[in-house]
Structure 1
């Protein structure tokens, strides 16, 4: 297991960079919220990140899901086994997480792009990290209020496009925006860094994803935490403009 990099980007907000995907821990007193959970193979890395912020799995109050792709929910079935912890996301994405439907790049789409060395290396990692499973999170449910009554009191912002119910989470008091895969700052399949969109094959509806990003530019804060890539510091309007350019 590679040790994840954990950075406290604001008071109680810890950005975790795994080998190929990110997640976030939001602490409040002894309790904490986990936002996303990496691949199935990231289970031990998630536990390591929790320990690095001085918490244990018994103190997990809630899990928030930006979207239900395997690289963001893969560790959750094992992590939550036998635990009565709410798993919250938008109503549409809760159905996706329960695997009532599946929106994900197909093996054929990936194979068609595997002539590119970076895509080939990434696809090999997907397999080694357990990314071919179609397992979901049966206990996923829709959030009912905003802000959410969980550590950090995040405000969910539904941003469909990457998936039909993709959701970002805004932490106004901390000045932090968690963008999942709606807006990233890098990916294993590309060399460029900075605010950007994922390749088209990763989006359920790329045009809708672009439209959804427009609502993020007016939010307050200056720290952006993507599902892939480095944390980004600056105005959200600038990040959106760069991504859409």
Structure 2
């Protein structure tokens, strides 16, 4: 089915649920997105927002008519605080819930190493109004919190076709650069790729909307981030579901070309 390029428009305000495809829900907020994949009464959560968004994370599960115990697995694109911040509250509500990442990213989630932009780096750029405004909002949302995910574990061996045996059948796609173990997730049935921060469509630091890369100082390995765009461009998908910004429809190679120009 041919789809026109452009953003998938949310019918509700930021922070509301958007059904990107049947059973694929994006929770959009001005600071970060997370996703819920539904198969019957079972859910997979992909990413978890900032610590200050934990209540919104739990309410997004409830607004789908589910409880935390319906979440069978949490997948994490990468272990930055704006993608794992809501996990402590969720894990208290759902003891034993597995939290799965690329094997390289597990040590980062456990805070055995840290690949997060530091306060000093942000302050060096705080003369820019957009950086200053974003930093204030991020700090208020728990952006400087030390969130350690002790339960973090590597993806189990995938099933046929590379899919994980979790609701929604996502296929991990290694996209290192933003962090050493960053992973995107392909949903083959829907032609959707959850890109995390390897490719976004908006951010408070950017005046642009549409496929783009985050500011260079956010990336642990900027050259690796650019190289991972080639991996994304080759995926059989025509919806970008990013960690920041609106979902965007269009061939992945077109999205990547646009990001390279940004």
Distance 1:176 1:49 in 2: 21
Q: Does 1:139 align with 2:151?
A: yes
| Structure 1: unaligned runs, 5 residues or longer | none
Residue 214 of structure 2 is matched in structure 1 by 198
**Residues 14, 24 of structure 1: 8 Å contact kept:** yes
| Alignment: residue pair count | 244
SS of corresponding position for 1:190: coil
**Residues 4, 48 of structure 1: 8 Å contact kept:** no
Q: Does 1:106 align with 2:122?
A: no
Distance 2:64 2:156 in 1: 28
Which structure exhibits the higher relative contact order, with contacts defined as CA atoms closer than 8 Å and separated by 6 or more residues? 2
Residue 5 of structure 2 is matched in structure 1 by none
Distance 2:191 2:50 in 1: 27
1:167 to 183, 190, 194: 183
SS of corresponding position for 1:99: coil
Residue 235 of structure 1 is matched in structure 2 by 251
User: Which runs of at least 4 in structure 1 moved beyond 2 Å after TM superposition?
Assistant: none
Residue 164 of structure 2 is matched in structure 1 by 148
Q: Does 1:52 align with 2:63?
A: yes
Residues 1-245 of structure 1: pairs in structure 2 closer than 5 A: 4-81=15-92, 83-146=95-158, 147-245=163-261
TM-score normalised by L of structure 1: 0.97
Distance 2:178 2:14 in 1: 28
| Structure 2: unaligned runs, 5 residues or longer | 1-12
Query: Deviation of residue 233 (structure 1)?
Result: 0.4
Distance 2:62 2:26 in 1: 14
**Residues 65, 72 of structure 1: 8 Å contact kept:** yes
TM-score normalised by L of structure 2: 0.91
SS of corresponding position for 2:178: coil
SS of corresponding position for 1:94: helix
Distance 2:14 2:51 in 1: 15
**Residues 84, 147 of structure 2: 8 Å contact kept:** no
